[in-house]
Chains A and B, each alone.
Chain A
């Protein structure tokens, strides 16, 4: 009688241990983490904050490995994996925010560069008006006019790239246009200064 009672209690304890040792797969957290990473990718985080995005993807892989590790065991504990997945979802938000912030920064930089270059072009056109003309009114600065036309076309391309979302390409193009416009501006100022000096004589 006593031994039967003992075996019964032992079986009950064993069953309880078994039941409480098998946690459920954190499916909701897994789905949420996957969705969060996809959303982050859609914000072009792989382009604008590539290192942070790579770290995020790595974190998700670690969590997935942990899940499979637990599934490999007889007594499964998904607590650590669940917490890892929650951390991935939180990190995804941070990375997405960083990507959006970087895009805002780049857009501001592109716009500032385009505006500065347009101002330089306007100044260059004014300087060219002051430049000396030939006997029959034809300007002797057509080479610079052609260069300015090319710069203007490049600025338009930079704006188009910006509009299409290729911000890094737009930055490079806008900076190049600015550098060339600055070169022409320096040249024109030198010529104008020389011309003004000549007139004073």
Chain B
């Protein structure tokens, strides 16, 4: 064979070898797993936008872990000779990341919406409970610690609402539990106080009716004080003639037990003297015969059974007097009327006019419905 022919064969074989080698190299080199990583990253971003790291913590964490793992494996493979790289594990890890991110997104969407609805309802219900119960609660002489509990509950409710408006629903579950517990406990205390107090209701109704009948029988005036409604009813010959607003002692629920307890007594009394402005600092006053025999007996029992201290005194000088109209219970146990009303009363009643003081002439059910 001639020289040029050998050259053709050599060059031709070399070119074919190079082409075959190139094809082999190209088929061996894997495509970088970028699309899979991008898909995983976008799924994580989407889940994060709806706070999946809070609402689906486990799945979201797995999504991030698989993504980081995929990147680490990719980096490791890239250190190898190009023909030896295998991205299959990287692609698998990226796929798992996407799966968990999607799962986190879907469950967060539902959980967040459900939680938001549930919390909105709880807040609305609690606010409604406050609106309904607080006016009555404010009127009752409850202990300081119960007032504090109620205040703390209401403050926490305000705080919970503020957190809700910021969209941080997971943060406020604990706050609402605290608010509800404190508010409802304080109302429960107040309700129990009222239920226990109103056990006397039948007796009050009977005493008030007796006083009215007495007024009719004697053709004279009689007074009935309804503590709960802060009302003074004036009867003449059994007919209702006047109604006045009154103010009482701070601890107006229950009868008077001892001097200084700031309680307005309950029971049947009489006016023992009329004091004009020269004899009282409260404009005009009608002195009652507190303590009566019932009061004395109760006071003695209290000392005997230890509910009252031995040093306690029974008290006296319970009056119906003027200087009322302050809008709250401020006396030390007396019954205060506005001056114009005490003027009217002063003119029509006499010494020995019966005065019956009761807790309420309305049943508790009606008061609570009001």
Q: Which residues of A contact B (CB under 8 A)?
A: 54, 58, 61-62, 64-65, 68-69, 71-74, 131-136, 138, 140-143, 146-147, 149-151, 154, 168, 171-173, 175-177, 179-180, 190-191, 194-195, 197-198, 201
Contacts and interface: CB of A to CB of B under 8 A. Distances in A.
Interface of B: 29, 32, 34, 37-38, 41, 45, 48-49, 71, 74-75, 78, 82, 85, 138, 142, 144, 147-148, 151-152, 154-159, 162-163, 166, 168, 249-250, 260, 262, 324-334, 338-340
A194 B78 contact: no
29 contacts: A54-B49, A58-B45, A65-B34, A68-B32, A68-B71, A72-B78, A74-B29, A132-B326, A134-B249, A134-B330, A134-B332, A135-B331, A136-B260, A138-B262, A140-B330, A141-B328, A142-B147, A143-B142, A143-B147, A146-B147, A150-B155, A151-B151, A151-B155, A168-B166, A172-B162, A175-B159, A177-B155, A198-B338, A201-B340
Contacts of A135: 331-334
Contact of A194 (B147, B155, B327, B334): B327
A134 B155 contact: no
Given A61-B41, A149-B148, A201-B338, A172 B159 contact: yes
Closest 7 CB pairs of A and B: A198-B325, A176-B158, A135-B332, A72-B32, A194-B327, A150-B151, A176-B159
Nearest to A194: B327
Contacts of B158: 175-176, 179-180
A176 B162 contact: yes
Nearest to B68: A61
Contacts of B159: 172-173, 175-176
A122 B110 CA distance: 47
Nearest to A190: B327
B330 A69 contact: no
Nearest to B248: A140
Nearest to B87: A72
Contacts of A190: 327
B143 to A, nearest CB: 9
B265 to A, nearest CB: 14
B245 to A, nearest CB: 10
B74 A68 contact: yes
A19 B329 CA distance: 96
A169 to B, nearest CB: 9
Contacts of B142: 143
Q: Which of A68, A168, A191 has the most CB of B within 10 A?
A: A68
Most chain B Cβ neighbours within 10 Å, of A62, A74, A198 = A198
B26 to A, nearest CB: 10
A94 to B, nearest CB: 19
Nearest to B159: A176
Contact of A195 (B49, B152, B326): B326
A54 B331 CA distance: 64
